[in-house]
């Protein structure tokens, strides 16, 4: 997709400096800056910063719509990019698990995704990256992981430990455990053997993780932890240099992170649905208490913009603050200063939204039109064509 010619967007309400204001916005050469440009009238619309999604696994449905029906990864990633753009996401991390489970969560599956993304990336809008969700109990695979991080330029690793959950399922929910094993093409006993072998790594895990985190930090990789259950767990990951607190399962863990000045990420679907689908804490309650700093798509990309408007409509936050949970806050959490806002010099990542229907009518990423429909599409494309003459 070619770069848009210089355009000056007028008439819209623009989110800048933490507030919606009547202003104009000029973009050229992929960034926001003042220069001679053709005017596009966007009266009646909102112009908001592009969404920065730090964790989404909705891409899995494109790669494997059914567990036993995988599709070509490069083609699937084009479909992922289209869905992201249609929902206002201009930068996204695909949350790929690297686990003792194997299968779709194996080292091989992770490297296959990274290779496919590397091949497809030149033709993709938005900016798509991979977050590796590393299970703690795979210390023998750390050297392999480091090679993959270096080879593919992975910039975000999150640690999680789902072993206790698996062990509990064996005891309390044998039927669910058998179904889980069947989805992997294994017998319950085969999966149990894998879990028991992972559990034997307990004593090696702390030192192995500390050593791995030190190496990742030296390579400039951002780190965090997933599903922290208490302050002790959050403190343990903090001590190895993993400050991002992703999906804490208790207010205690979230409060501990906020007190230490660390970002807390929660799922946008949790906000939209009014609670967690897995029975964990409600994200909106954490937001109201100042214990959540950013929202991510989790398993459903459309929930991101829906969550911002839900928070505004319910009176939890003004829209400007609610939208910052999707844009500026996640950009700050991951250390990206060139996006997340609409200030001069930042990337031209923006979304045009109908304030009445909350429909996203255009998404521009890096100065390129990634998605457009309706009246905004006609205005943008018509103005761009005239500017190019």
pLDDT tens, position by position, 266-320: 999 999 998 776 667 899 999 999 999 999 999 999 999 999 999 999 999 999 9
Cβ partners under 8 Å of residue 112, min gap 6: 73
pLDDT of residue 65: 85
Task: Output the pLDDT for position 384.
Answer: 62
pLDDT digits (tens, 9 = 90+) for 336-368: 999 999 999 999 999 999 999 999 999 999 999
pLDDT higher for 42 or 64? 42
Handedness of CA 309, 314, 316, 317 (dihedral sign): positive
pLDDT value of position 278:
66
Quickly list DSSP for 259-302. HTT--EEEEHHHHHHTS-TTS---HHHHHHTT---EEE-BT-TT
Question: In the chain, at which residue ranges do the beta strands (DSSP E only) sit?
Answer: 7-10, 13-16, 19-22, 25-28, 31-32, 38-41, 46-49, 51-56, 89-98, 127-135, 156-160, 222-226, 244-246, 264-267, 294-296, 350-353, 360-365, 368-372
Q: What's the predicted TM-score (pTM) here? A: 0.95
The confidence score (pLDDT) of residue 158 equals: 98
Q: Which residues of 120-147 are buried (b: 16+ CB within 10 A; e: fewer)?
A: beeebbbbbbbbbbbbbbbbebbeebbe
The mean predicted confidence, pLDDT, of the chain is: 94
Quickly state the pLDDT bin for 165 (edges 50, 70, 90): confident
pLDDT of residue 388: 59
- The full set of domains in the chain, from first to last, is 7-48+342-388 (2.30.40.10), 51-334 (3.20.20.140)
Mean pLDDT check: name the lowest of 12-16, 246-250, 271-275, 355-359.
Answer: 271-275
Identify the pLDDT of residue 164.
87
Distance from first CA to last CA of the chain, Å, rounded? 18
Rounded distance between C-alpha atoms, residue 280 and residue 249, angstroms: 6
Check residue 93 and give its pLDDT: 98
Nearest of 12, 21, 60, 18 to residue 39 by alpha carbon: 12
Where is pLDDT greater, at 180 or 321?
321
pLDDT band at 30 (very low <50, low <70, confident <90, very high): very high
Q: What is the number of alpha carbons within 13 Å of residue 197 lying toward its C-beta?
A: 13
Average pLDDT over residues 239-257: 97
Collect all residues with Cβ–Cβ distance below 8 Å to 69 and sequence separation of at least 6.
none
Q: Is the pLDDT of residue 70 over 60?
A: yes
Confidence class for position 197, pLDDT limits 50, 70, 90: very high
Structure tokens at 155: 């910039």
* Distance, CA of 312 to CA of 48 (rounded, Å): 15
Q: What pLDDT sits at residue 280?
A: 76
Residue-level pLDDT at 68: 73
Q: How far is CA 229 from CA 132, 249, 251, 279, in A?
A: 20, 5, 9, 13
Question: What is the pLDDT averaged over residues 136-157?
Answer: 98
Three-class SS of 227-253? CCCCHHHHHHHHHCCCCEEECCCCHHH
């Amino acid at each position: 997709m070619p770069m848009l010619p210089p355009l000056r967007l007028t008439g819209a309400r623009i989110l800048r400096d933490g507030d919606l204001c009547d202003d104009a916005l000029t973009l050229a050469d992929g960034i926001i800056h003042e220069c001679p440009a053709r005017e596009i009238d966007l009266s009646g619309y909102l112009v908001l910063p592009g969404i920065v999604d730090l964790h989404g696994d909705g891409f899995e449905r494109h790669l494997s719509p059914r567990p036993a029906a995988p599709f070509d990864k490069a083609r699937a990633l084009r479909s992922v990019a289209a869905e992201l753009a249609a929902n206002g996401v201009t930068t996204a991390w695909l949350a790929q698990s690297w686990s003792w489970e194997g299968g779709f969560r194996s080292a091989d599956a992770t490297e296959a995704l990274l290779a496919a993304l590397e091949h497809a990336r030149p033709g993709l809008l938005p900016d798509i990256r991979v977050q590796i969700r590393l299970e703690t109990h795979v210390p023998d695979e750390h050297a392999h992981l480091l090679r993959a991080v270096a080879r593919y330029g992975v910039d975000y690793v999150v640690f999680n430990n789902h072993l206790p959950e698996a062990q509990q399922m064996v005891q309390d929910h044998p039927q669910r455990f058998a179904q889980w094993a069947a989805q992997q093409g294994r017998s319950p006993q085969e999966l149990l053997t894998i879990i028991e072998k992972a559990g034997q790594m307990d004593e090696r895990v702390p030192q192995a993780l500390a050593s791995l985190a030190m190496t990742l930090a030296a390579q400039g990789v951002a780190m965090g932890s997933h599903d922290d259950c208490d302050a002790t767990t959050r403190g343990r990951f903090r001590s190895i240099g993993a400050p991002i607190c992703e999906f804490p399962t208790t207010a205690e863990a979230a409060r501990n992170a906020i007190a230490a000045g660390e970002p807390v990420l929660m799922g946008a679907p949790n906000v939209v649905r009014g609670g967690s689908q897995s029975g964990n804490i409600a994200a909106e309650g954490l937001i109201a208490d100042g214990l959540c700093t950013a929202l991510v798509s989790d398993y459903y990309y459309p929930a991101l913009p829906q969550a911002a408007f839900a928070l505004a409509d319910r009176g939890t936050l003004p829209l400007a603050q609610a939208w910052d949970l999707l844009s500026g806050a996640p950009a700050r959490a991951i250390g990206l200063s060139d996006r997340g806002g609409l200030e001069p010099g930042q990337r031209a990542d923006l979304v045009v939204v109908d304030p009445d229907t909350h429909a996203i009518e255009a998404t521009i990423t890096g100065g390129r039109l990634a998605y457009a429909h309706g009246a905004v599409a006609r205005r943008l494309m018509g103005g761009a064509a005239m500017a190019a003459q």
